[in-house]
A and B are shown apart, each in its own frame.
Chain A
Amino acid sequence: GDSVTQMEGPVTLSEEAFLTINCTYTATGYPSLFWYVQYPGEGLQLLLKATKADDKGSNKGFEATYRKETTSFHLEKGSVQVSDSAVYFCALSENNYGQNFVFGPGTRLSVLP
């Protein structure tokens, strides 16, 4: 079945550091890929998405590129802020009938001032 693997956390960075959170996936079809973010005490919210190979999703300074050849969707940000501290989830959704979101285990990011 489909699956998503993320780098284990927690990840601790200083403010203005460069961030990379690795994500790889296994899918039978041709999925869309997502990054969701969960701030403390809240539900998940969509950060960015990409629906086909070589697409780049971007939002709030975060970027991720859909790499079909390496089945990856790594999240990057050039300069993190304390307010970026959260848990980040990589997810996929297959292009088939019905809804089938598969989430990774999440990576906790802590940004120190």
Chain B
Amino acid sequence: DAGVIQSPRHEVTEMGQEVTLRCKPISGHDYLFWYRQTMMRGLELLIYFNNNVPIDDSGMPEDRFSAKMPNASFSTLKIQPSEPRDSAVYFCASSYRATNEKLFFGSGTQLSVL
């Protein structure tokens, strides 16, 4: 099993640019999560999907952030326009079935907005 695959691993962009982060969950998993990790705020849940449907996006910081899951094997997190305060590590995670099943995390995307 290849695990959760995220791309790119590192992204450096300028303020105002559009950023797209990508995630391929583990095959067969029906939950997909996007988290953001910063020193100040720790690990924050941004949004999660169940069977490709967004269930809870209350953690999305503002309208500049959007996430999609067009099929069971692919999800994107988009920031438009990006701002320096968006600089963080963004993790994608997936799991199988509801509650108490462990999360499998990708290696993350280190985003730097200059």
Q: Footprint of B on A, CB under 8 Å?
A: 32, 34, 36, 41-46, 49, 51, 89, 93-101, 103-106
Contact = CB atoms under 8 A, between A and B. Distances in A.
Q: Interface on chain A toward B: helix, strand, loop, or mixed SS?
A: loop
Interface string B9-48: 0000000000000000000000101000000001101001
Interface in B87-111: 91, 93, 95, 98-100, 102-108
A98 B55 contact: yes
B31 A99 contact: yes
Contacts, number: 58
Given A36-B103, A41-B107, A99-B55, 12 more contacts: A32-B99, A43-B106, A43-B107, A44-B93, A49-B102, A89-B43, A97-B98, A97-B99, A98-B55, A99-B31, A99-B95, A104-B42
B48 A43 contact: no
Interface residues of B, number: 23
Contact of A101 (B45, B55, B104): B45
B32 to A, nearest CB: 10
